[in-house]
Structure formats: structure tokens, C-alpha cells
Structure 1
Amino acid sequence: MIPLGLAFGVLVVQSGLPWWWAGLSSALIYGGSFEFLLIGMVAVAAPLVSVAVAALLVQGRHVFYALSFPLHRVGGRLGRAYSTFALTDEAYALTATERARAWSGPRILWLQLFLHLYWAGSAVAGALAGALIPAGVTGLDFALTALFTVLALDAVRDLRGDLPTPFLAAACALAARLLFPGQMLLTAFALFTVALLARRLTTSGRPAHV
């Protein structure tokens, strides 16, 4: 989260936006991939309708996260409201593991809060230090891709030999890329959810192997 936030802050000031915009965005919007996209849209004064559509397409994947995120363990309306707001890729990846099934609601909330603080704090630090980094430096925007790669590798390791699942995910991504390249992310998530439900229904009646 910290290297990614630093890269985001640097890109904010190198795009001509004021340094405080990084802190405001990371605190109130708190959507990493969309915030990276939003930098360019704000810099060119994109229409609000375009911003809203982009937010829906990029952040719409969180709808699928909610299907298995342990929100039921979080108590109180304020706690659940913040947990819903702070449902990020990183928080979902950490709470979806086998070892996280015993985590309490307060632990989940503290996890999300610290991730939020790491992101916002490092974004401000990156924006303040952005003037010290030459404008010709490239590759900072690849930090987001690198983060998703790490999360994907951790998820595959946590499957413990369940090879069909990553192959199924790859097939859904490829099909979405070929059928609906303009809405690949949402299409891939939808196909993957349907495929998992179909596999669940077809295997639920089989006897377990001892």
C-alpha cells in the first residue's frame, strides 16, 4: 500500500494538480485504480458524466467482493458503514484467506482502517516529495499492476492445489476480453461468478473423498 500510495502522490503533482488533492482523494474516494484513472480525467476537466461512468465500470467489481466479504462479523451501523466504504482489493484479499475465517469484527475493522491510513498517508508523502522526482521518470503507474499481480499470486497459493479455479478465472478473463473488450472487468467477474455457482451446484451432491 505504501509504495503504491507514494506512486499515486507523485503522479498527482506531476499531472499539475495541487499536493493536497492526493490526500483529499485518498481519504474520501479511497479507490486506488479509479483514483489513478481520475488523475487524467481531472487534469483535462472531464465531464462529470464521464467520471461517473468510469467510476461505475472500474469500481463495480466491489459488488462481487460483497458476496463473500465477512461484513456480518462487523458490529454496529457505523462499523458496517465504514467497512463497506473501505472494502478494497487488499482488504478483500486478506479477509478471503483460510486463516482469516476466525478473525473478529474489530480485527477486520482495524485492518481496513490501517490500510486506509497507509494509503492516505503515503499518497500525501508522495505528493509532497513529487517535486524532487524528475518528470522523466516512468513506470510509476505500473505500481498498481504490480500490486494486483502480487494479490493474484497470494490467492493462487492459498488455493492449496485447487488448480481448476485459477484456470477458470483465466478462461473467464479471456472470454470477456474477446466478447466485451470495453467492459472486460465487469464481464469477467460476472462470468467467473456464474461459473463458480455452476461448479458449486454440480459438485455439491458428490460424496467427499476421504
Structure 2
Amino acid sequence: MVIDPATLSTTAVVDSGPRQPEWRRALQASLPVGIGLVPLGIALGVLVVQQGFNPWWAMVFTSLIYAGSLEFIAVGMVAAMTPLPYIALTALLVNFRHVFYALSFPLDRVKGRLARFYSMFALTDEAYAMTVTGDRKSMSGRVIVYSQLYLHAYWIGGAMLGATAAQWIPENIVGLDFALTALFVVLSIEAIRAQSGFAVPSMAVMCALIARLVDPGHMLPIAMGAFVSLLVIRYFWTRRKVRTDA
């Protein structure tokens, strides 16, 4: 049997089909996540107006901060005129996990100084999950940046929609800021299911309860500081145990 190389080449081209533009691939990849970001953005926009800010401040917060949970916290802290050092410390503790994201985030695929700067700025939980799991590991640098741009646009659009609609929403509606808490509850449940034990969740609950008893007004930084410290201690203790057993 004789195989014609030309036939093989033609068949391969036909089977592969036209390659989608990178912006379209990024749009398809980010759309499911973006659908989940819009309601949270709406909740943030409503919260901004309820705290006494003008609606356009929703765009300022989402454009310049873009840190999800930190934005919900920052709105209340700015409204309460919290000192800047305290805000900075809270931001460090809340977003400290991004230090670990950087260890496996494929920033080397992103070309160009401006694109890299924006990719680092837009490194959110959702963007990280999209780029390091499953088939996403084959995403090019442009697809990564486009995906982050789309996610950012979903977030800004949701916040602006919420800030605009808040003008017609009664002020006595409370609990909209709980939307992010509900999201993290779901994420925590999924994380617990993926864990081999309950050591880490138990430490988190213990730190929260102790911080609540020690100083309810500064519960968040105390709890997160204690939790990070326990994680570091646990890491070195586990590492030492592995070396001893070996």
C-alpha cells in the first residue's frame, strides 16, 4: 500500500480546521468565570453607593484596586476614614496569597513590559485558576492577558451596573456585602473537600475565634496574621518531619 504524503498533509489541514483568534479563545475561556463576577461586581457597586460615595467611585475602586475581597473591605475602611497604615496592613494580609500564586503563574509566556505589568496587576484568584489548571496550561501569553482584560471588564461593568441601579434600590436593604462572604464559603467548602484532613480549616476557625475574643474591632488582621504564622510553622514542621523520616 502506497501512502501519498501530499494526501496526509491535506487531510491534516482539513482536520485541524481554522485556528480561532486569540482574543476569541480568551473570551470563550473567561466567559463562564465572568458570569460569576458580574453579580459580585453589582453587589460591590451597590455597597459603594450605600456607603455614601458617588456612583463613579465604583469605577475608581474596580479599576485601580481590582482585588475582589479587598475592595469590599476597602470601601468600608475608606468610608470610615481608616488610617492608611492600617489599610496597607490589611491589604497585605488579605492578598498575601498572591505571593504563592506568583510561583506557578506562567508570567514568562507574557511578552512585553506593559503586558507583564498589567498581568501582574490583574492576577486574581479567578485568573490564576484559569491559567494553571487543566488545558489552560497551553494558553499563550496573549490569551492570558486577553482573559485577564475580559475578567477585569466583567468586574468593572458589574460594579458600574450596581452603582447605577443602587440609586433606585431602597437604602434599608442590607446584606449585599455578604455576597462575597457567601462566595468564599463555597470556595472554602470546595477547598475542604480537596484537603486530606481538617488541620488547616481547624486552624482558620481557631484563629478567627481567638481574634474575635481578643479584639473584635481588629479581628481581621489579628486572625489572618495568626493564621499565616501557623501555616508557616506547620510548613517547616512538616518539612522537618519528612527529612527525619527519610
Fold shared by both chains (TM-score > 0.5): yes
Aligned partner of 1:112 among 148, 154, 162: 148
The 5 A counterparts of 1:167-206 are 167-174=198-205, 176-177=207-208, 182-189=221-228, 191-192=230-231, 198=238, 202=242
Give % identity. Answer: 49
Which of 177, 202, 223 aligns to 1:141? It is 177
Output the CA distance in 1 between the equivalents of 2:170 and 2:102: 40
Alpha-carbon distance between aligned partners in 2 of 1:173 and 1:122, rounded to the nearest angstrom: 31
Question: Does the 8 Å contact 2:93/2:225 carry over to 1?
Answer: yes
Structure-2 separation of matches of 1:47 and 1:129 = 30
How far did residue 74 of structure 1 move? 1.8
- Describe the shift of the 1:183–1:21 C-alpha distance in structure 2 as closer, same or farther (beyond 3 A): same
Query: What RMSD over aligned residues (CA atoms) do the two structures have, in Å?
Result: 2.9
Partner of 1:74: 110
Q: Quick one: which amino acid aligns to residue 185 of structure 1?
A: M
Work out which of the residue numbers 68, 75, 82 in structure 2 matches 1:46: 82
Query: Using the alignment, how far apart are the partners of 1:168 and 1:94 within structure 2?
Result: 27
Question: Structure 2 CA distance, aligned partners of 1:193 and 1:100?
Answer: 30
Give secondary structure in 2 for the equivalent of 1:121.
helix
Where has structure 1 moved over 6 Å in runs of 4 or more?
178-181
Secondary structure (helix, strand or coil) at the match of 2:198 reads helix
- Kindly tell me: are residues 66 and 59 of structure 1, through their superposed partners in 2, closer, same or farther at Cα, counting changes over 3 Å? same
Q: Give secondary structure in 2 for the equivalent of 1:134.
A: coil
Q: 1:156–1:77: structure 2 CA closer, same or farther, 3 Å change rule?
A: farther
- The amino acid of 1:9's aligned partner reads G
Moved more, 31-40 or 14-23: 31-40
Partner of 1:94: 130
Query: Unaligned 5+ residue runs, structure 2?
Result: 1-36, 212-218
**Cα distance in 2 between the residues matched to 1:194 and 1:93:** 26
Q: Which residue is equivalent to 2:53?
A: 17
Contact 1:61 1:186 in 2 (8 A): no
Decide whether aligned partners of structure 1 residues 170 and 153 sit closer, same or farther in structure 2, where only a CA change above 3 A counts: closer
TM-score computed with the length of structure 2 as normaliser: 0.68
Q: CA deviation at 1:34?
A: 1.4
Provide the C-alpha distance between the structure 2 equivalents of 1:96 and 1:55, rounded to a whole number of angstroms: 24
The offset of 1:35, in angstroms, is 1.3
- After superposition, the C-alpha distances for 1:15-36 in whole angstroms (9 at most, x for unaligned) are 1111111101100111121111
When structure 1 is superposed on structure 2, of 172-181 and 53-62 the one drifting more is 172-181
Larger Rg belongs to: 2
Q: 1:90 to 1:153 in 2, by over 3 A?
A: farther
> Which amino acid is the alignment partner of residue 12 of structure 1?
V
Offset at 1:148? Answer: 2.3
- Measured in 2, the distance between the counterparts of 1:178 and 1:16 equals 31
| Structure 1 residue 153 displacement after superposition | 5.2
Q: Offset of 1:87 from its aligned partner?
A: 0.8
Change (3 A) 1:151 1:99: farther
Q: Distance in 2 between matches of 1:65 and 1:106?
A: 19
